Amino acid sequence: MYISMKTYSKKFLVTFFFSMLPMLLMSCSMDPEKASFSISGNLEKLQIGNDGFTEVYSIKSNTEWKFVNETDQSWVTISPAKGSGNGTVTITANANTGTGRTAVFRVVPNGVKTQEIEIIQGNSYIPTTDGEFPIIAWTGVEADKSLEKFPVMKASGINIYLGWYDDLETTLKVLDAAQKTGVKMITSCKDLLSVGTAEEVVKAMMNHPALYAYHLKDEPEVNDLPGLGELVKKIKTIDSHHPCYINLYPNWAWGKELYSENVKSFIEQVPVPFISFDNYPIVSINGAPSIIRPDWYRNLEEISAAAKENNKPFWAFALALSHKLDETHFYKIPTLPELRLQVFSDLAYGAQAIQYFTYRGLQHDEPTEVYDLVKTVNQEVQQLAGIFLGAQVISVSHTGSEIPEGTKALGSLPTPIKSLTTSDTGAVVSVLEKDGNQYLVQGPADKTGQATSFDNVYNRSCGDETLDEIFEDVSQEYGVNVNLLKAVAQAESGFDVNATSSCGAMGIMQLMPSTAESYGVEDPYDARQSITGGAKLLSWLLDDYNGNVSLALAGYNAGCGAVQKYGGVPPYDETVNYINKINDILDGALSNDSWTTDSMQATDLSHAYVSTGNAGNTYYPGLSVTFLVMKIMNIFRIQLQNFLKRLTDRETALIQKSSQLTAAIQFHQHQFLI
């Protein structure tokens, strides 16, 4: 923990270190007429855990003093609340079983500058969306169309909408629409943006179940920060539960000072619980083909470092709207790999929310092509929400022939990873920590999304054989192309042998119970049994549809009845996206004209390789062709467990043989006695 003090009269920090206390006391004795006050430690921001907290602090003073609970939070107290001269105070906080919370105390020493103490309980602010990763769409929904548009937004995987309206009445109506459709809102109106009128607005909105946060400013200038700080403090005194949202400029657009210094000033002056910034990396300059801004990753480095240093999460953006920035710079409609590049890089750096600019780019009157792309990426993100939400960044580095400016090249790999190979275009490699486990995260580093491919099953061990061995064996036995078989497994479960879907599909090939039974799968979580069952089904489907892969995949996803009903691939978004995903996994090997097994024979699925040596690994791959998440902690424990299991199996076999031998000896002895 650390504690320091902040004055109201001037916008700078006054820090009192232990080493300075003798000097302070000496000055008091030399000038007894001058009022003085200090408290032990650094007391500006006190970060405490969720467990109950009690700590005693010493006060050195020659005047009267008192602590005023600005936010009226009953879960924390400072006692005694007032006194005179030297003494001690005890800060006590109740245990917290909910989300993070904040209380602010104003210290009022007689004749000395007013100071404040901010007490934050719980981990750094983590947005809550019922276990889902927060995915935000920026403004674009008209108030009178909110009931119609919010369900469409939610169907794409967006669970938070950021929009502001002219007046409080309209804002409350849109909040009502959000509540009815299951969407949260970051919102604002004109009267919220003034210290003098904010109280009425906050009191009217603070208890609305659809409210997520108060939106105060997009891309503030440096001279806006003091006023924003006062506004945030005002709102926090009324509502300490809902955060205030302010979004910062990218590093290429904010002032003449160092970007890091501007971010530091923002954090010092504006007490918001997280940092948000926008930077759209894929840009066309003077009509040339799009490039990645050379300082984009440096921007992620700067924000991630500031967030970590100040124990605050950060939010990042992905561009989903084609528009002209100025006479030179143009943003085009992003492709699926370009969306993945933005989102997965943000996640690798530890972003705790993904924001799309703007919803207007996803839907005008009807959903656009970007809508489906965003939906696909959002589904991939939510598959890994349990890992990324609340994870802490341990390290981030880059591979490739050219390392982006402001970043560092990959050095040593975390134990027990022995090797990691990517293409010359490079990749982002980070290590995250969550719930005592560590994860190696590898994402793309070029705008094509082909910098690293994770289609291969690597050498993941399943008992005495690897997944690669199983796929090859089963492929030959049932005549199903091995690459197609792997692609289906990746699309279905991400090669997770223990996967279970919400509808009851099980195992690496996601077989329904009835399907598993039909194809002789007794244990759907056994890799060989599941892959065998999936291969049998695919083989039957390919035979039934004369080798047409698109129809076979449609039958695998939606069932033969649906294919028969529509006389081809059924017009289900899920099924169409499923086929497209497998086409992406196979690097486009399935042509639109003839999706047959012949078109996949030359597909190479071994672009990247990760090894831990000869022993088996535990992998948690992502569901896109450009992203990998691998659990790296406790691998040795798992390997040991597997080794002991093999020993136990052998021991059991020996015991069985010994029992058989003993029985045989006893039998012969009995016969001899007879």
Please name which of 287, 265, 273, 361 lies closest in space to residue 317, comparing C-alpha atoms. Answer: 361
**Phi, psi dihedrals of residue 275, rounded to the nearest 5°:** -110, 130
Measured CA to CA in angstroms, residue 500 lies from 312, 511, 556, 641 at distances of 34, 9, 17, 23
Distance, in Å, from the CA atom of 325 to the CA atom of 314, rounded to the nearest integer, reads 25
Please name which of 35, 11, 13 lies closest in space to residue 24, comparing C-alpha atoms. Answer: 35
Distance, in Å, from the CA atom of 167 to the CA atom of 192, rounded to the nearest integer, reads 9
Contact 175, 143 (CB under 8 A): no
Active site residues: 492
Tokens, residue 73: 């939070």
Distance, in Å, from the CA atom of 96 to the CA atom of 101, rounded to the nearest integer, reads 9
> Residue for token digits 């994402």?
443
DSSP tally for the chain: helices H, then strands E: 19, 32
CA 554 to chain centroid, in Å, comes to 31
Please name which of 266, 364, 274, 354 lies closest in space to residue 318, comparing C-alpha atoms. Answer: 354
Tokens, residue 523: 């244990």
Helix (H, G, I), strand (E, B) or coil at 279: coil
Distance, in Å, from the CA atom of 662 to the CA atom of 657, rounded to the nearest integer, reads 9
Measured CA to CA in angstroms, residue 211 lies from 124, 141, 148, 182 at distances of 20, 16, 19, 11
Please name which of 359, 445, 417 lies closest in space to residue 137, comparing C-alpha atoms. Answer: 359
Distance, in Å, from the CA atom of 109 to the CA atom of 68, rounded to the nearest integer, reads 11
Distance, in Å, from the CA atom of 613 to the CA atom of 635, rounded to the nearest integer, reads 12
What's the one-letter identity of residue 552?
Answer: A
Distance, in Å, from the CA atom of 74 to the CA atom of 397, rounded to the nearest integer, reads 44
- Strands of 334-436 (E only): list them: 354-357, 392-398, 419-421, 427-434
The angle subtended at Cα 313 by Cα 309 and Cα 316, nearest 5°, is 115
Partner residues linked to 629 by β-bridges: 441, 620
> Residue for token digits 């043989």?
657
